[in-house]
Amino acid sequence: METELAALAASGATTLVGLMVSDSWTHVRDRLGHFLARDRGTEEAAEDLDTSRRELVAAHEAGDAPTAAGVAADWQTRLLRLLRADPAAAGELRRLLDSLDAPSREQQPPAVHNTVSGGTQYGPVIQSGRITGLVLHDPGTAPTPDGPGTGGKG
């Protein structure tokens, strides 16, 4: 059981630290703060998260890998302590991590495979999953054997 709690704490810390430096942070901060506020106030938990985030962002900007690793290790220790103190927290943390991971799985863009065939292409070839509002204009001169848009004149 101890090994499972340690693995869950490590996974939780990795996810937490990854989210701290992502665009998703403001969206998940309150949820994480609520989970961490078990033995203290929500404001105190939120302050700890904000302090760690500032340290982590500064470490990333400075290329300071040891400090970033230290923030992750600190959160791993905190989570393991919390999981040991409250056995019900393990299930809640698993559900929280699953819910935080679900949007990233859903946001994976679908694979796009296009095949361009039928000779030489003298215009744009665009590969995309979805394009909206794109307008392509014909330059008015047809490609000739001498090259695109020359109209056969040299």
Report the mean per-residue pLDDT for the chain: 79
Within the chain, strands assigned E span none
User: Tokens in use for 65?
Assistant: 């890998």
Rg (CA), the chain: 26
Backbone phi, psi, residue 136, to 5°: -110, 135
pLDDT digits 0-9 by tens, 20-66: 988 888 888 888 888 888 767 788 888 999 999 999 999 999 999 99
CA distances from 115 to 128, 133, 143 (A): 12, 22, 21
pLDDT digits (tens, 9 = 90+) for 72-107: 999 999 999 999 999 889 999 999 988 887 545 445
